Amino acid sequence: MSKKKKFKKAKKTIPNNVIQPATNNDEQSVTQTDQTATVAASNSLNDELAEKYKHISKDIRFILFLIGLIIVLFIISYFIETKTTLFDTIGDWIYKAANIQA
């Protein structure tokens, strides 16, 4: 037996009378029913997920609050550095207190 005959694909034919065209009324009613079911399912899913992951949304809000607070502190420290020598004085004190040798 040759390989060509062994792996030869059989041709499949589909009879024409099996597929029937849909009318506009059928399509509209199916579409409306599908949309209504989809909206109801998505609303119930959103409610379920919101309740299930409520603690995660609280954690995300807390993390965003902390990031905002850190950004504000950086901005404040920048303006303090430009107006005073406070950070230079603190740095010199830490250098002396830690007894760092170069």
Provide the residue-wise pLDDT of the chain in tens; the chain has 102 residues: 555 666 666 666 655 555 555 555 555 555 556 666 676 677 777 778 778 888 888 899 999 999 999 999 999 999 999 999 999 999 899 988 998 776
Q: Is there a domain that residue 43 lies in?
A: yes
Domain that holds residue 91: 35-96
Residue 48 lies in a domain: yes
Q: Look-up: residue for tokens 């609050």?
A: 65
Total count of domains within the chain: 1
> Which amino acid, residue 76?
I
**What distance in Å separates the CA atoms of residue 11 and residue 7, rounded to the nearest whole number?**
13
Q: State the pTM of this model.
A: 0.47
pLDDT at 18 (0 to 100): 57
In terms of residues, how long is the chain?
102
Q: Residue 24 is which amino acid?
A: N
Angle at 8 (CA atoms; ends 7, 10), nearest 5 degrees: 125
In a domain, 81, yes or no: yes
In a domain, 62, yes or no: yes
In a domain, 59, yes or no: yes
What are the CA-CA distances from residue 63 to residues 20, 51, 54, 59, 83 (Å)? 57, 20, 14, 6, 31
Beta carbons within 8 Å of 82's beta carbon, 6+ residues apart: none
